[in-house]
Structure 1
Amino acid sequence: MNKVSLGAASGESSEEHAKRDGRIHRPSPAVAFVGRHNSGKTTLLVRVIAELVSRGFDIGSIKHHGHCDFDIDVPGKDSYRHREAGSRDVVVVSPTRMARITELDHEIECDDIVSSMPDHDLVIVEGFRQSGLDVIEVLRSGNDRDLPAAEEYCEIGTVRGVTPVAVVSNMESVHAVAKRRGTPSFSLEDIEGIADFLQAVYVRPKLTVAIQAGGESRRMGQSKATVPFLGEPLLTRIVERVACAADELVVTTNEASRLGFLGDLDIPCPLKLVPDSFEKRGSLQGLATAFGAASHSLVAVIACDMVFASPQLAIAEAAVAHSERVDAVVPCNKFGYEPFHAVYRTNSCLEATHEALSRGCVRAKDFFDLVNLRPFMSAEVTEAVPERGCFINVNTPEELAHIEATIMAEGDR
């Protein structure tokens, strides 16, 4: 039997884990370091992990083991005796640590293991060359097994059929070829350089969530932010719904003096109120204000009248923006784009909105052709938010009352 020690050995996805424990989880980005036995991967990764942790990042790691009979348990200990007695799944847990040893009938796919490890800024994988993850090749001249691999890389740019996104080596020939191919390369001692590369490309960026609160609404007859909904201001509901997805919350508003109640909320991130940056109000101006106010490289923009605004959707959109390195991830359905429940790359979209405004544009979507936009299709929305309804917004007292009555009769989403 194969053995594995991890938090969710069954390959439970982060979505399934979230449903089970009731929390909102963020998928962890991952990258693999690969090489032959004695190439120095573990020694390198121990130093890289320590450097990233020293920078304040939450790091997870996976080690692929080539021997099916490996063991990390200690003979004579209670957990070992459980396994000796025939238990196929042993969990040892204390208030601060957990270990799980599971007998497997087949090897778990690497992406399933990563999915079972949510909420890390980065998961570093040692091994799993064929996993589909981006790989960083480690090549050391003192290891005879690395010499044929280095020759292959220098000749055709791959190792065992996989093209590395970067190489770490002490071989001048490898560095010369990497430079010629435009591939980042690092020495075995350049721990800071490797960490800089991982931080720039793979570490999950922090997310600002910007709630567009505006001010008076003619159709609502008053401010949507402060209109009562289920016994509290509507804005309170939206803030409390989406705060778990945010590293920073921004509320764009022209009535900050009326939003003092936000200071009483117990939310897990800092919140700031920001006035509109433009005298003339409009959808595009509102987006530009949100982009300009965001402290982080990604910003989820959500309208305060979306009563079922979804943190899961914002997290899923941000994950796509990061992994695919696009400027905007905007839900798209048969009615068109939903720009006010979307994630944007702050700097590029701020520049694009100002360019569109200089052309006299006013609609939110008028800058889309100036950025690398990734439509987030209906099937992807459903996967992130199976209960749907996250784009429902309220514009009139009648619509508000209808949604309120529906929630009271059928339950919230």
Structure 2
Amino acid sequence: MVVKNPYVLQVVGYSDSGKTTLLAKLIARFEQSGVRVGVIKHDGGHDFEWDQPGKDTRRYREAGASLLAISSQTKTVIHQQRPIPLPELVERLTQAGAELVLVEGFKREGYPKLVLIRKAEDQELLKTVTDIRGIVTWERLATDLWPQLSIHDDEAVFEFVKSQLETKD
């Protein structure tokens, strides 16, 4: 499958709804099928740490570096000491060659979304997010407004996302 512009799909849901597990499965399936996947994770309420105390990168950051890159024979990380808007992150992954960009979180952004619903009270989320393309549920919901997929049917979820990628605008 050759994709010229990446398809961006947000996977949103409340904590412990299965977002990370689902994304890990999708990443593996798409990469195995030859699609280069970029992933963006929103860490909404935390101040995550990626480097270790006492290591050079931590020392450079603590010294005040606004931008920091570390590269090895197998990987590169670029760290900025500021939040970056989702559209800019998507553009950076596009420039790096992503054909599919999967986004965990950023509920208020306007990209197409899969919404994960684990329990009945999670359905409130369906009223607050935009551009819902499908719902991934733990139990069938009493709605037919969007396609519903079972969290337990990896193949159906993969095929649904693949169809979205193939028919993107």
For Structure 1 versus Structure 2, the TM-score category normalised by the shorter chain is 0.7 to 0.9
Moved over 4 A (4+): none
Rounded to whole Å, the distance in 2 between the matches of 1:93 and 1:101 is 11
SS where residue 202 of structure 1 aligns? helix
Aligned to 2:127: 159
SS where residue 121 of structure 2 aligns? helix
Rounded to whole Å, the distance in 2 between the matches of 1:65 and 1:39 is 15
Deviations 1:12-46, CA, capped at 9 Å, x for gaps:
xxxxxxxxxxxxxx542211000011111111111
2:16 to 29, 35, 38: 38
Rounded to whole Å, the distance in 1 between the matches of 2:139 and 2:155 is 19
Aligned to 1:3: none
Deviations 1:286-341, CA, capped at 9 Å, x for gaps:
xxxxxxxxxxxxxxxxxxxxxxxxxxxxxxxxxxxx642xxxxxxxxxxxxxxxxx
* Residue identity matched to 1:188: I
Q: What aligned pairs does 1:65-84 form with structure 2 within 5 A after superposition?
A: 65-84=43-62
Q: What aligned pairs does 1:295-314 form with structure 2 within 5 A after superposition?
A: none
Rounded to whole Å, the distance in 2 between the matches of 1:198 and 1:136 is 9
Q: CA deviation at 1:161?
A: 4.3
Query: Is contact 2:110-2:130 (8 Å) kept?
Result: no
Aligned in 2, Cα 1:113/1:61: closer, same or farther, shift over 3 Å?
Answer: same
TM-score w.r.t. length of structure 1: 0.38
Aligned to 2:147: 184
* Residue identity matched to 1:190: D
Q: CA deviation at 1:108?
A: 2.3
1:149 to 97, 102, 122: 122
SS where residue 20 of structure 2 aligns? helix
Aligned in 2, Cα 1:161/1:56: closer, same or farther, shift over 3 Å?
Answer: closer
* Residue identity matched to 1:117: L
Q: What aligned pairs does 1:337-376 form with structure 2 within 5 A after superposition?
A: none
2:92 to 112, 116, 119: 116
SS where residue 108 of structure 1 aligns? coil
Q: CA deviation at 1:163?
A: 4.9
Rounded to whole Å, the distance in 2 between the matches of 1:110 and 1:120 is 15
Q: What aligned pairs does 1:103-252 form with structure 2 within 5 A after superposition?
A: 103-104=81-82, 107-118=83-94, 119-141=97-119, 147-150=120-123, 152=124, 158-172=126-140, 174=141, 176-177=142-143, 180-181=144-145, 183-202=146-165
Query: Is contact 1:51-1:191 (8 Å) kept?
Result: no
Aligned to 1:335: none
**1:86 counterpart = 2:64:** yes
Query: Is contact 2:12-2:19 (8 Å) kept?
Result: yes
Query: Is contact 1:34-1:136 (8 Å) kept?
Result: yes
Quick check: which has more Rg, 1 or 2?
A: 1
Rounded to whole Å, the distance in 1 between the matches of 2:46 and 2:151 is 30
* Residue identity matched to 1:72: W
Query: Is contact 2:6-2:98 (8 Å) kept?
Result: yes
Aligned in 2, Cα 1:36/1:121: closer, same or farther, shift over 3 Å?
Answer: same
Query: Is contact 1:59-1:124 (8 Å) kept?
Result: yes
Rounded to whole Å, the distance in 2 between the matches of 1:58 and 1:163 is 24
Query: Is contact 1:27-1:117 (8 Å) kept?
Result: no
Rounded to whole Å, the distance in 2 between the matches of 1:39 and 1:110 is 22
SS where residue 171 of structure 1 aligns? coil
Deviations 1:244-302, CA, capped at 9 Å, x for gaps:
xxxxxxxxxxxxxxxxxxxxxxxxxxxxxxxxxxxxxxxxxxxxxxxxxxxxxxxxxxx
TM-score w.r.t. length of structure 2: 0.87
Rounded to whole Å, the distance in 2 between the matches of 1:89 and 1:171 is 45
Counting helix residues as a fraction of each chain, which structure ranks higher?
A: 1
SS where residue 56 of structure 1 aligns? coil
Deviations 1:148-183, CA, capped at 9 Å, x for gaps:
232x37xxxx331425210001122x2x41xx33x2
| Fraction of identical pairs, as percent | 30
